[in-house]
Amino acid sequence: MTTLRVILDEVTAAPTGGMARYAEELTRQLIATAPRGSSVGGIVSASPEPDYARLAERLPGLTELYKSPLARRELAAAWQHGFTRLPGSGMVHATSLLAPMSRHDRLTARKTQTAVTVHDAVAWTDPELLSSRQLAWNKAMTRRAERFADAVVVPTHAVADELASRFEFGDRLRVIGGAPSSRVRPVADASERRDRLGLSDNYLLAVSGLDPRKGLDALIAALADVPEVPLVVVGSEPGDAGRIADSATAAGIPVDRVVALGPIDDDDLAAVLQGASLFVQPSRAEGFGLAMVEAFAFGLPVIHSDAPALVEVAAGAGVVVARDAPDGYPDRLAEAIRSVRDDPQLHDRLSVSASDRARAFSWRDAAEKVWQLHADL
């Protein structure tokens, strides 16, 4: 029996974030598509017992789970410096840059192979958008991947092109994208759920935290030129509501026009998507745009920035807003929002385009490509 061991730390570290959703969805389909004679195991840092139980519940079919004695911070530091190898040998697939990478002969030691995932190239294209700690980690681990990884998975050709221009990955780069979540589906009690969350219908929706990469500040500022339409923000940290309210106040926006829900469960997210009139992804930098793809799956008209990965993923299904001349970015976002809001035909056309575009993405297809990648190695 051949076992593909998947590093699942993103699921236990931040179970409601995009990285966690990516790792969980991909692993579920790796289990479902495992070739005959193959199985899927998991690897996690030292975690509370409820985290292990959640993994077992969400990923039935894992044949083993290696629990590191090191907590996430210590494990990340150890792997960054080349310490702490995993027991045994075999195939390891990391759903992020968190991976044990060390020197080995890729030509003869084929029983040992490690593939890592680089979700974006922000550390090189827009380093000012990262904290010093995030920047140092990303750069150090990408350099280790250049030296030691057997394969590097990226979500878009835009990220592949950026990395290829800076590193000697050669034919080790593979583009394997994500897909809409299988856990976020339309719900019958959507209206009741929105009432409980304090939402009326026909609002703008963004899935964003206060990370500068996400451009939420520009979107809030844009509301000054889009009268009356409320903005609902999902996915920020629980403690971010006050800072989001401060951003609204600074932009001259009534605080009640910006509703920060923080992280919510999948059924509530579905209800929020069902009640929105428009989805906005104002990211200054992205590697894929998973939230945008999920909005497509709900048939929502989408406005997004001209970040290359978003343009690639949307493929013309959304309205593109240029990020250059940053001082004018909120004005351009506002103009795009008004154009869709005030033109029912454009709104309906974008809705149809969104649903069509969502069909291009499949977690099963992504999993089959990962299995093929490891077979090729």
Q: Which helix (H) or strand (E) holds 178?
A: none
CB atoms closer than 10 angstroms to residue 257: 17
Mean pLDDT of 91-97: 95
Which runs of consecutive H residues, i.e. helices, occur in 180-233? 190-197, 216-222
d(C-alpha 354, C-alpha 299), whole Å = 5
d(C-alpha 325, C-alpha 335), whole Å = 15
Q: Is the dihedral of CA 252, 254, 257, 259 positive or negative?
A: positive
Closest CA to 259 of 204, 222, 312, 297: 204
Work out the angle between the directed axes of helices 266-275 and 190-197 (0-180°, nearest 10).
100
- Classify residue 17 by its DSSP letter: S
pLDDT of residue 71: 92
Q: Mean pLDDT highest for which of 17-21, 179-183, 316-320?
A: 316-320
- Classify residue 264 by its DSSP letter: -
Instruction: Quote the percentage of the chain above a pLDDT of 90.
Output: 77
CB atoms closer than 10 angstroms to residue 285: 25
CA–CA distance from 82 to each of 90, 95, 174, 318 (Å)? Answer: 18, 18, 24, 43
Query: Where does the pLDDT of residue 110 fall: very low under 50, low under 70, confident under 90, or very high at 90 and above?
Result: low
pLDDT(269) > 90: yes
The string over 105-117, giving b where at least 16 C-beta atoms fall within 10 Å of a residue's C-beta and e elsewhere, is ebeeeeebbbbbb
Looking at domain 2-179+362-376, its CATH class is: alpha beta
Lowest mean pLDDT among 147-161, 175-189, 236-250: 236-250
d(C-alpha 238, C-alpha 260), whole Å = 9
Higher pLDDT, 87 or 193: 193
Q: Which two tokens stand for residue 9?
A: 């730390």
Residue pLDDT, tens place only, 34-46: 999 999 999 999 9
Mean pLDDT of 302-315: 98
Mean pLDDT of 201-216: 92
pLDDT of residue 219: 96
Inter-residue contact 155 to 98 (CB < 8 Å): no
d(C-alpha 216, C-alpha 281), whole Å = 9
Q: Tell me, which fold does domain 190-358 have in CATH?
A: Rossmann fold (3.40.50)
Q: What is the rounded end-to-end Cα distance, in angstroms, of the chain?
A: 17
Domain coordinates in residue numbering, the chain: 2-179+362-376, 190-358
Inter-residue contact 177 to 248 (CB < 8 Å): no
Higher pLDDT, 68 or 87: 68
Q: Are strands 231-234 and 203-207 parallel, antiparallel or unpaired?
A: parallel
**Domain 2-179+362-376 and domain 190-358 have a common topology:** yes
